Structure 1
Amino acid sequence: MTTTNVARLLKQSDIPFDLLSYPVDEQDLSAQNVARKINYPLSSIFKTLVLETDAHQYVFAVISGEEEVSLKAVARAVSAKKTHLVPMKDLKQLTGYIRGGVAPIGAKKPFPVLLSHSALNQEFIIISAGKRGLQVKLAPDDFLRFTNGIVFMNR
Protein backbone atom coordinates (compact mmCIF):
# COMPACT_ATOMS: atom_id res chain seq x y z
CA MET A 1 0.00 0.00 0.00
CA THR A 2 1.24 3.47 -0.85
CA THR A 3 2.52 5.52 2.04
CA THR A 4 2.06 9.26 2.38
CA ASN A 5 3.64 12.12 4.33
CA VAL A 6 0.78 11.80 6.83
CA ALA A 7 1.49 8.11 7.46
CA ARG A 8 5.27 8.68 7.61
CA LEU A 9 4.94 11.54 10.11
CA LEU A 10 2.54 9.62 12.36
CA LYS A 11 4.78 6.56 12.26
CA GLN A 12 7.89 8.63 13.12
CA SER A 13 6.01 10.01 16.13
CA ASP A 14 4.87 6.55 17.27
CA ILE A 15 1.21 7.53 16.89
CA PRO A 16 -0.90 4.39 16.38
CA PHE A 17 -3.02 4.53 13.23
CA ASP A 18 -4.53 2.39 10.51
CA LEU A 19 -4.28 3.21 6.83
CA LEU A 20 -7.54 2.58 4.94
CA SER A 21 -7.76 2.55 1.16
CA TYR A 22 -10.75 2.80 -1.15
CA PRO A 23 -11.42 3.22 -4.87
CA VAL A 24 -11.67 6.92 -5.77
CA ASP A 25 -14.69 8.29 -7.60
CA GLU A 26 -13.55 11.63 -9.07
CA GLN A 27 -17.21 12.63 -9.47
CA ASP A 28 -18.00 12.12 -5.78
CA LEU A 29 -15.32 13.05 -3.25
CA SER A 30 -17.86 13.49 -0.44
CA ALA A 31 -17.44 12.21 3.10
CA GLN A 32 -20.65 10.19 2.58
CA ASN A 33 -19.08 8.36 -0.34
CA VAL A 34 -15.85 7.70 1.58
CA ALA A 35 -17.88 6.35 4.53
CA ARG A 36 -19.75 3.96 2.23
CA LYS A 37 -16.59 2.76 0.50
CA ILE A 38 -14.62 2.04 3.68
CA ASN A 39 -17.71 0.84 5.57
CA TYR A 40 -17.51 3.19 8.56
CA PRO A 41 -20.23 5.48 9.94
CA LEU A 42 -20.30 9.02 8.57
CA SER A 43 -19.87 10.33 12.13
CA SER A 44 -16.32 8.89 12.18
CA ILE A 45 -15.25 10.42 8.85
CA PHE A 46 -13.67 13.86 9.31
CA LYS A 47 -13.08 16.24 6.45
CA THR A 48 -10.38 18.90 6.43
CA LEU A 49 -11.34 22.36 5.24
CA VAL A 50 -8.89 25.20 4.71
CA LEU A 51 -10.09 28.64 5.74
CA GLU A 52 -8.60 32.12 5.67
CA THR A 53 -9.33 34.81 8.24
CA ASP A 54 -9.82 38.52 7.61
CA ALA A 55 -6.25 38.90 8.97
CA HIS A 56 -4.98 36.57 6.21
CA GLN A 57 -4.26 33.74 8.63
CA TYR A 58 -4.95 30.22 7.35
CA VAL A 59 -6.44 27.49 9.47
CA PHE A 60 -7.45 23.84 9.06
CA ALA A 61 -10.95 23.05 10.33
CA VAL A 62 -11.46 19.32 10.78
CA ILE A 63 -15.14 18.48 11.05
CA SER A 64 -17.32 15.39 10.92
CA GLY A 65 -18.82 14.35 7.60
CA GLU A 66 -22.18 14.96 9.27
CA GLU A 67 -21.39 18.64 9.84
CA GLU A 68 -21.25 21.82 7.82
CA VAL A 69 -18.56 24.25 8.90
CA SER A 70 -19.65 27.31 10.85
CA LEU A 71 -17.54 30.20 9.56
CA LYS A 72 -18.46 32.20 12.65
CA ALA A 73 -17.35 29.39 14.98
CA VAL A 74 -13.99 29.10 13.20
CA ALA A 75 -13.53 32.88 13.38
CA ARG A 76 -14.33 32.83 17.12
CA ALA A 77 -11.90 29.96 17.72
CA VAL A 78 -8.99 31.87 16.15
CA SER A 79 -10.01 35.33 17.43
CA ALA A 80 -10.82 36.68 13.98
CA LYS A 81 -13.75 38.77 12.81
CA LYS A 82 -14.47 36.68 9.71
CA THR A 83 -13.32 33.58 7.85
CA HIS A 84 -14.00 32.16 4.44
CA LEU A 85 -13.19 28.91 2.67
CA VAL A 86 -10.04 29.03 0.56
CA PRO A 87 -10.90 28.63 -3.14
CA MET A 88 -10.25 25.11 -4.44
CA LYS A 89 -7.79 26.41 -7.04
CA ASP A 90 -5.54 27.67 -4.21
CA LEU A 91 -5.45 24.46 -2.15
CA LYS A 92 -2.49 22.76 -3.85
CA GLN A 93 -0.24 25.83 -3.76
CA LEU A 94 -1.14 26.55 -0.14
CA THR A 95 -1.11 23.05 1.36
CA GLY A 96 0.50 20.74 -1.18
CA TYR A 97 -2.75 18.76 -1.28
CA ILE A 98 -5.68 18.62 -3.71
CA ARG A 99 -9.41 18.55 -2.99
CA GLY A 100 -10.38 15.15 -1.62
CA GLY A 101 -6.87 14.65 -0.27
CA VAL A 102 -6.32 17.65 2.02
CA ALA A 103 -4.85 16.63 5.36
CA PRO A 104 -4.05 18.77 8.41
CA ILE A 105 -0.82 16.77 8.82
CA GLY A 106 2.20 17.11 6.55
CA ALA A 107 1.00 20.20 4.70
CA LYS A 108 3.48 22.62 3.12
CA LYS A 109 2.99 25.02 6.03
CA PRO A 110 1.80 24.18 9.54
CA PHE A 111 -1.47 26.08 9.94
CA PRO A 112 -3.41 25.99 13.21
CA VAL A 113 -5.70 22.96 13.46
CA LEU A 114 -9.24 23.15 14.82
CA LEU A 115 -11.06 19.91 15.56
CA SER A 116 -14.82 19.84 15.92
CA HIS A 117 -16.07 19.02 19.42
CA SER A 118 -18.02 16.13 17.84
CA ALA A 119 -14.71 14.21 17.58
CA LEU A 120 -14.57 13.90 21.36
CA ASN A 121 -17.54 11.49 21.24
CA GLN A 122 -15.63 9.19 18.90
CA GLU A 123 -13.32 6.30 19.78
CA PHE A 124 -11.44 7.14 16.59
CA ILE A 125 -11.59 9.61 13.73
CA ILE A 126 -10.81 8.97 10.10
CA ILE A 127 -9.08 11.75 8.16
CA SER A 128 -7.44 12.04 4.77
CA ALA A 129 -4.00 10.48 4.57
CA GLY A 130 -3.03 13.26 2.15
CA LYS A 131 -4.01 11.44 -1.01
CA ARG A 132 -7.35 10.61 -2.59
CA GLY A 133 -8.22 6.99 -1.86
CA LEU A 134 -6.33 6.81 1.44
CA GLN A 135 -7.58 7.61 4.92
CA VAL A 136 -5.94 7.43 8.35
CA LYS A 137 -7.85 6.11 11.37
CA LEU A 138 -6.56 7.34 14.74
CA ALA A 139 -7.66 8.38 18.22
CA PRO A 140 -8.90 11.99 18.53
CA ASP A 141 -6.54 12.59 21.48
CA ASP A 142 -3.53 11.41 19.47
CA PHE A 143 -4.61 13.65 16.58
CA LEU A 144 -4.94 16.68 18.87
CA ARG A 145 -1.61 16.01 20.55
CA PHE A 146 0.21 15.51 17.23
CA THR A 147 -1.24 18.64 15.57
CA ASN A 148 -1.37 20.80 18.71
CA GLY A 149 -5.00 21.08 17.72
CA ILE A 150 -7.72 23.01 19.46
CA VAL A 151 -11.22 21.66 20.00
CA PHE A 152 -13.90 24.10 18.86
CA MET A 153 -17.67 24.23 19.02
CA ASN A 154 -18.68 24.08 15.37
CA ARG A 155 -21.91 26.06 15.69
Structure 2
Amino acid sequence: MSKVVKTNALRLLDKAKISYEIKEYQYDEEHLGGEHIVSQVDMEAKDIFKTLVLKGDHDYLVCCIPVLEEIDLKKLAKLSHNKSVSMIHLKDLLQITGYLRGGCSPIGMKKKFDTYFDSSINECTKVALSAGKRGYQMIVDAKELMDYLNAIVGNVIKE
Protein backbone atom coordinates (compact mmCIF):
# COMPACT_ATOMS: atom_id res chain seq x y z
CA MET A 1 0.00 0.00 0.00
CA SER A 2 1.23 3.47 -0.79
CA LYS A 3 1.88 6.18 1.78
CA VAL A 4 -1.33 7.36 3.44
CA VAL A 5 -2.43 10.75 2.19
CA LYS A 6 -3.66 12.92 5.07
CA THR A 7 -6.98 14.34 4.01
CA ASN A 8 -8.81 17.03 5.95
CA ALA A 9 -11.05 14.32 7.46
CA LEU A 10 -8.05 12.31 8.68
CA ARG A 11 -6.30 15.37 10.12
CA LEU A 12 -9.44 16.18 12.11
CA LEU A 13 -9.66 12.60 13.43
CA ASP A 14 -6.00 12.80 14.44
CA LYS A 15 -6.63 16.09 16.24
CA ALA A 16 -9.60 14.54 18.08
CA LYS A 17 -7.46 11.49 18.95
CA ILE A 18 -9.90 9.14 17.20
CA SER A 19 -8.17 6.07 15.82
CA TYR A 20 -8.91 4.87 12.31
CA GLU A 21 -7.70 2.46 9.69
CA ILE A 22 -7.43 3.28 5.99
CA LYS A 23 -8.61 0.95 3.23
CA GLU A 24 -7.31 2.00 -0.14
CA TYR A 25 -9.14 0.73 -3.21
CA GLN A 26 -9.11 1.11 -6.97
CA TYR A 27 -11.71 3.43 -8.44
CA ASP A 28 -12.48 5.00 -11.75
CA GLU A 29 -14.94 7.63 -12.90
CA GLU A 30 -17.28 4.96 -14.29
CA HIS A 31 -17.49 3.01 -11.02
CA LEU A 32 -18.15 5.37 -8.13
CA GLY A 33 -21.21 3.45 -6.89
CA GLY A 34 -21.63 1.45 -3.72
CA GLU A 35 -21.38 -1.97 -5.33
CA HIS A 36 -17.85 -1.20 -6.49
CA ILE A 37 -16.75 -0.11 -3.02
CA VAL A 38 -18.25 -3.24 -1.43
CA SER A 39 -16.30 -5.37 -3.90
CA GLN A 40 -13.06 -3.53 -3.03
CA VAL A 41 -13.28 -3.03 0.75
CA ASP A 42 -13.21 -6.14 2.91
CA MET A 43 -16.28 -5.30 5.00
CA GLU A 44 -19.97 -6.14 4.88
CA ALA A 45 -22.11 -3.69 2.89
CA LYS A 46 -24.16 -2.82 6.00
CA ASP A 47 -20.98 -1.45 7.63
CA ILE A 48 -19.97 0.79 4.71
CA PHE A 49 -21.74 4.15 4.63
CA LYS A 50 -22.07 6.74 1.88
CA THR A 51 -22.29 10.46 2.51
CA LEU A 52 -25.13 12.41 0.91
CA VAL A 53 -25.49 16.18 0.94
CA LEU A 54 -28.97 17.66 0.79
CA LYS A 55 -30.71 21.01 0.92
CA GLY A 56 -33.35 21.56 3.57
CA ASP A 57 -35.72 24.48 4.02
CA HIS A 58 -32.97 26.84 5.20
CA ASP A 59 -29.58 25.12 5.04
CA TYR A 60 -27.66 22.11 3.84
CA LEU A 61 -27.55 18.86 5.75
CA VAL A 62 -25.52 15.68 5.57
CA CYS A 63 -26.92 12.16 5.74
CA CYS A 64 -24.95 8.91 5.89
CA ILE A 65 -26.66 5.66 4.96
CA PRO A 66 -25.48 2.13 4.16
CA VAL A 67 -23.81 2.19 0.76
CA LEU A 68 -26.30 -0.08 -1.02
CA GLU A 69 -29.42 1.54 0.43
CA GLU A 70 -31.55 4.38 -0.90
CA ILE A 71 -32.50 7.45 1.11
CA ASP A 72 -36.12 8.19 1.92
CA LEU A 73 -36.36 11.98 1.55
CA LYS A 74 -39.66 12.20 3.43
CA LYS A 75 -38.27 10.35 6.45
CA LEU A 76 -35.17 12.56 6.49
CA ALA A 77 -37.28 15.72 6.16
CA LYS A 78 -39.36 14.67 9.17
CA LEU A 79 -36.30 13.71 11.24
CA SER A 80 -34.54 16.98 10.39
CA HIS A 81 -37.64 19.14 10.98
CA ASN A 82 -37.78 20.33 7.36
CA LYS A 83 -40.88 20.53 5.19
CA SER A 84 -38.82 18.87 2.47
CA VAL A 85 -35.24 17.97 1.61
CA SER A 86 -33.64 17.38 -1.78
CA MET A 87 -30.30 16.16 -3.02
CA ILE A 88 -27.99 18.98 -4.07
CA HIS A 89 -26.85 19.14 -7.68
CA LEU A 90 -23.63 17.23 -8.29
CA LYS A 91 -22.06 20.33 -9.84
CA ASP A 92 -22.48 22.12 -6.47
CA LEU A 93 -20.88 19.42 -4.29
CA LEU A 94 -17.29 20.67 -4.45
CA GLN A 95 -18.25 24.30 -3.81
CA ILE A 96 -20.46 23.44 -0.82
CA THR A 97 -18.36 20.70 0.82
CA GLY A 98 -14.83 20.90 -0.58
CA TYR A 99 -15.18 17.28 -1.69
CA LEU A 100 -15.70 15.51 -5.02
CA ARG A 101 -18.32 12.84 -5.73
CA GLY A 102 -16.96 9.49 -4.59
CA GLY A 103 -14.75 11.19 -2.01
CA CYS A 104 -17.21 13.10 0.16
CA SER A 105 -16.68 12.58 3.88
CA PRO A 106 -19.03 13.75 6.66
CA ILE A 107 -15.90 15.00 8.45
CA GLY A 108 -13.98 18.07 7.33
CA MET A 109 -16.41 19.81 5.02
CA LYS A 110 -15.93 23.54 4.41
CA LYS A 111 -18.70 24.22 6.94
CA LYS A 112 -20.20 22.04 9.66
CA PHE A 113 -23.70 20.94 8.71
CA ASP A 114 -26.22 19.00 10.77
CA THR A 115 -25.40 15.33 10.23
CA TYR A 116 -27.83 12.41 10.24
CA PHE A 117 -27.17 8.67 10.16
CA ASP A 118 -29.55 5.88 9.42
CA SER A 119 -30.45 3.96 12.58
CA SER A 120 -28.74 0.86 11.19
CA ILE A 121 -25.46 2.38 12.44
CA ASN A 122 -26.56 1.32 15.93
CA GLU A 123 -25.93 -2.29 14.87
CA CYS A 124 -22.35 -1.52 13.75
CA THR A 125 -19.19 -1.64 15.81
CA LYS A 126 -16.90 -0.22 13.11
CA VAL A 127 -17.98 1.61 9.98
CA ALA A 128 -16.25 2.59 6.76
CA LEU A 129 -16.82 5.98 5.17
CA SER A 130 -15.02 8.07 2.62
CA ALA A 131 -11.85 9.55 4.06
CA GLY A 132 -12.24 12.60 1.83
CA LYS A 133 -10.51 11.28 -1.28
CA ARG A 134 -11.62 8.87 -3.97
CA GLY A 135 -10.15 5.45 -3.34
CA TYR A 136 -9.84 6.01 0.43
CA GLN A 137 -12.17 4.59 3.05
CA MET A 138 -11.60 5.24 6.74
CA ILE A 139 -12.72 2.63 9.22
CA VAL A 140 -13.70 4.12 12.57
CA ASP A 141 -15.53 3.12 15.71
CA ALA A 142 -19.22 3.87 15.07
CA LYS A 143 -19.91 5.31 18.54
CA GLU A 144 -16.85 7.57 18.47
CA LEU A 145 -17.84 8.82 15.02
CA MET A 146 -21.40 9.58 16.11
CA ASP A 147 -20.18 11.44 19.19
CA TYR A 148 -17.59 13.41 17.22
CA LEU A 149 -20.12 14.51 14.60
CA ASN A 150 -22.86 15.08 17.19
CA ALA A 151 -24.96 13.10 14.73
CA ILE A 152 -28.70 12.54 14.89
CA VAL A 153 -29.81 8.96 14.28
CA GLY A 154 -33.10 7.85 12.76
CA ASN A 155 -34.72 5.62 10.17
CA VAL A 156 -34.01 7.40 6.86
CA ILE A 157 -33.74 4.61 4.28
CA LYS A 158 -36.43 3.23 2.00
CA GLU A 159 -38.07 0.01 3.13
Provide the TM-score with structure 1 as the length reference. 0.96
2:45 and 2:35 mapped to 1: Cα distance? Answer: 6
- Residue matched to 2:6: 3
25, 30, 45: which is aligned to 2:28?
25
Deviates more, 1:63-72 or 1:85-94: 63-72
- Residue matched to 1:89: 91
1:75-114 equivalence runs, <5 A: 75-114=77-116
1:61 and 1:73 mapped to 2: Cα distance? Answer: 12
- Residue matched to 2:53: 50
Structure 2, unaligned runs of 5 or more: none
**What SS class does the counterpart of residue 130 from structure 1 fall into?**
coil
Is 1:124 matched with 2:126? yes
**What SS class does the counterpart of residue 131 from structure 1 fall into?**
coil
Offset of residue 39 of structure 1: 2.1
Provide the TM-score with structure 2 as the length reference. 0.93
Structure 1, unaligned runs of 5 or more: none
1:78 and 1:40 mapped to 2: Cα distance? Answer: 29
Offset of residue 66 of structure 1: 2.8
How many residues are aligned here? Answer: 154
Deviations 1:32-68 (A, max 9, x none): 1111112221111100000101x23110000001310
1:67 and 1:146 mapped to 2: Cα distance? Answer: 24
**What SS class does the counterpart of residue 19 from structure 1 fall into?**
strand
Deviations 1:116-142 (A, max 9, x none): 101111111100001100011011111
Contact 2:128 2:137 in 1 (8 A): yes
1:65 and 1:92 mapped to 2: Cα distance? Answer: 20
Identity %: 34
63, 66, 76: which is aligned to 1:64?
66
Two-structure CA RMSD over aligned residues (Å)? 1.0
Deviations 1:65-123 (A, max 9, x none): 13100101111111011010001000000000010011110000100000110111111
Deviates more, 1:34-43 or 1:84-93: 34-43
